[in-house]
Amino acid sequence: MLVHPWDEAPPAEWREWLRDGHDFGQLIVPGRERDLPVVVPTHFTLDRADENTVWLHLARPNPVWRALDERPRAMLSVVSDYTFIPSDWNGGVPTSYYAAVLLECDVRVVDDPAEKAVILNRQLGHFQPGVREDVDSSERLLSGIRGIQLTVTGVTAKFKYGGNKSAELRANVAERLVRRDGPFDRAAARHVGETLTQPT
């Protein structure tokens, strides 16, 4: 992914963005000597204690396991807050605004029932707090899933919101996004507003 200096998101920014409800992405597993990687859309939970670990679980029949057996490496791609910027908003050049975080990870597959219960309870506590009691390690449903621990070894984070444009143009784009009010337009407008303090 091409990242210009004005689009690069510092660690504090992309971590806050992930914590703020951006918890669905694509797990991309290259395996070894495959024509194409295995790509799995999935919810995940960022470990808030160290913010360097990601937890998730997938169904046991998922084709991703064979690729992970070949090579326990993966990328977790998270993209959101995207929108199209028409050419007449942007000095005659149409473009896309978006936030993207690519996490390069070592992978540990978890099959121990007690550990799987911890992962599942972590996810349930995040996505549906208070809805059900904790999963016990003896529950039968655990046999149908496998857990995954991702340890982040590298990050590419890009928040592309016109950081190289003039403050006047960015303010105008933010205003138009709010008026258009399409999917993600208000989120994108907030990002654009955050760039107004950056140098052009």
As a whole number of angstroms, the distance between CA 93 and CA 191 comes to 19
Residue 16 lies in a domain: yes
Each residue of 36-87: pLDDT tens digit? Answer: 999 999 999 999 888 899 999 999 999 999 999 999 999 999 999 999 999 9
Residue 18 lies in a domain: yes
Residue 4 lies in a domain: no
Task: Residue 125: give its domain's CATH number.
Answer: 2.30.110.10
Q: How many domains does the chain have?
A: 1
Model confidence pTM above 0.75: yes
Each residue of 128-148: pLDDT tens digit? Answer: 998 877 888 888 889 999 999
As a whole number of angstroms, the distance between CA 9 and CA 194 comes to 12
Average pLDDT of the chain to the nearest whole number: 95
Q: What is the pLDDT of residue 200?
A: 47
Residues 104-117, mean pLDDT to the nearest whole number: 97
Q: Helices 167-180 and 185-195: crossing angle, nearest 10°?
A: 160
Residue 200 lies in a domain: no
Residue 74 lies in a domain: yes
Each residue of 153-197: pLDDT tens digit? Answer: 999 999 999 999 999 999 999 999 999 999 999 999 999 998 776
What is the residue whose two structure tokens read 């009010």? 181
Q: What is the pLDDT of residue 195?
A: 77
- Classify residue 165 by its DSSP letter: S
As a whole number of angstroms, the distance between CA 173 and CA 86 comes to 10
The CA-to-CA distance between both ends of the chain, in Å, stands at: 22
